Amino acid sequence: MVGIILASHGEFAKGILQSSTMIFGEQENVQAVTLMPSEGPDDVKAKMKDAIASLDNQDEVLFLVDLWGGTPFNQVNSLFEEHKDKWAIVAGMNLPMVIEAYALRSSMESAQKIATHILNTAKEGVKVKPEELEPADTSKFSKASAGQSNAGAPGSFEYVLARIDSRLLHGQVATAWSKTMQPTRIIVVSDAVAKDELRRKLIQQAAPPGVKAHVVPINQMIKLAKDDKHFGGERAMLLFENPEDVLRAVKGGVPLKTINVGSMAHSTGKVQPNKVLAFNQEDIDTFNKLKQAGLNFDVRKVPNDSKGNMDEILKKAQEELNKLK
């Protein structure tokens, strides 16, 4: 696996490591190196060497630094000459860049190839509102990216992911899951959200570059599933707030085989058998009905998490609810 070292002036590298872990999950072979106010070039170079030594693969290392020409960059660069055939340095570190690098490590074993691919992601992650403040060429690029889907081609939707997540479209979905599943459309399926103009707008604005986001009521999703001939080539990611909405969609004819169970928020009357999932009796009964309907459950918060056992989780939740009766 390609090793990644995040380097910065001050605590920035540690902060972005923490933020990226919250979104994409814990990562192996990633280190943060910081240059503090009381330290000099030799100090950060020593830290850099220690960080490199801690990596499993010291031949393939990607350095993400805050500033080109700054002390962290200069100290990496002083070590770079002997490894320039395999190492890579990218300056201007931001969160989209780091997350993209994590995602690419599963399919790329070259630090230099990853460096090439993360540059566009880093640039696309810089946006401004109101949109008219963007330079004309940036706007054209964004519009071109958004128009790369194959709407109108023969065929129908390909459902790349159906997920239950009470937060719907947020960082883990817009980055980790989108990078893994490569949807062209993200569809939030919810009667409640469809009626909430503010939430609809926020979801549409949270879509990753090149992906269109929609909010539709459950009945509308059922109609789309039955007549989706105009969506050939489209890769759809469906997001549901709760299992009850999934059951309605499946009963109506939305052809789902697997449900990713990512997050269900705790509220009054619910028990929480693990850190991210909370259930009341209706939730448990609904999951059992989904199982009877032939659906499989993929219990993961982010793609690189190990899968949870839904039967065991439901059993524990039922036991905890029984104790409350």
Residues identified as active-site: 9, 170
Q: Residue 95 in contact with residue 172, Cβ under 8 Å?
A: no
Cα–Cα separations (whole angstroms), residue 177 to 46, 148, 154, 183: 36, 19, 26, 9
Helix (H, G, I), strand (E, B) or coil at 196: coil
Tell me phi and psi for residue 150, to 5 degrees: -105, 40
Distance of alpha carbon 95 from the chain centroid: 12
Residues 6 or more apart in contact with residue 161 via CB below 8 angstroms: 177, 181, 183, 237, 238, 260
Q: Which residue has the tokens 């459309």?
A: 185
Give the Cα separation of 312 and 325 in Å (integer). 20
Q: Strands, E, within the chain: which ranges? A: 3-9, 30-35, 61-65, 88-91, 158-165, 185-189, 212-216, 235-240, 258-263, 296-299
Q: Which residue has the tokens 């072979």?
A: 29
Residues in the chain: 325
